[in-house]
Amino acid sequence: MGWESTIGAVAEIRESRSDEGPVLALVQERASVAALAHIFPPERYPYPRAVVQAHWAAAVADPAKRTLIALNGHEPVGAACVYEEWLDGLYVAPERWGTGLAGELHDRALEVVRELGSELCHLWVLEDNTRARRFYERHGWQENGETRVVEFPPNPLDVGYTLDF
């Protein structure tokens, strides 16, 4: 079932199909390369395409996870993955930044987390991804005091956030 967006440029946010893992991975790559070059300079740290593709392939196949895709016509412009108590990823194509799409995809993803019976939600965000951190904080998320080292060089820190419903 699709969710109609109030943003004219986006026709639909819906659950992704099991064959759309590569498309979701591509949305993440486009967003990550644009947003995180200051953390993962591409000339020094090539994008981990195979790992990200495997992650999304596993996510769309896992019955405990729900993946969402935002489409502009047939063009994928957003991706999200959730499971019980977790927003596992939210990515928007760079040309859609500032349009409100991230907020709509975020809200739809949290609806799914609530549908799974969760009373709160957690996420990880890179410590130096200030754009994302500001976004989540504007949407009510609060740092929860947890950190972890990211597996990809140069091994920056992720910061934990929690949102109570």
The model's pLDDT over 21-37, given as tens digits with 9 standing for 90+, comes to 999 999 999 999 999 99
- Whether 126 has a pLDDT exceeding 60, the answer reads yes
Mean per-residue pLDDT of the chain: 94
Which pTM does this prediction carry?
0.93
Provide the 8-state DSSP code for 43. Answer: T
For residue range 46-91, list pLDDT tens digits in order: 999 999 999 999 999 999 999 999 999 999 999 999 999 999 999 9
* Closest C-alpha to 147, from 131, 123, 119: 123
Going from N- to C-terminal start, the domains of the chain cover: 2-164
DSSP lists the bridge partners of residue 121 as: 163
Distances (CA, A) of 131 to 22, 44, 68: 25, 22, 21
Chain segment 80-121, per-residue pLDDT in tens: 999 999 999 999 999 999 999 999 999 999 999 999 999 999
Query: In this predicted structure, what is the pLDDT of residue 1?
Result: 46
Give the class (CATH, top level) of 2-164: alpha beta
Flag whether pLDDT at 152 surpasses 90.
yes
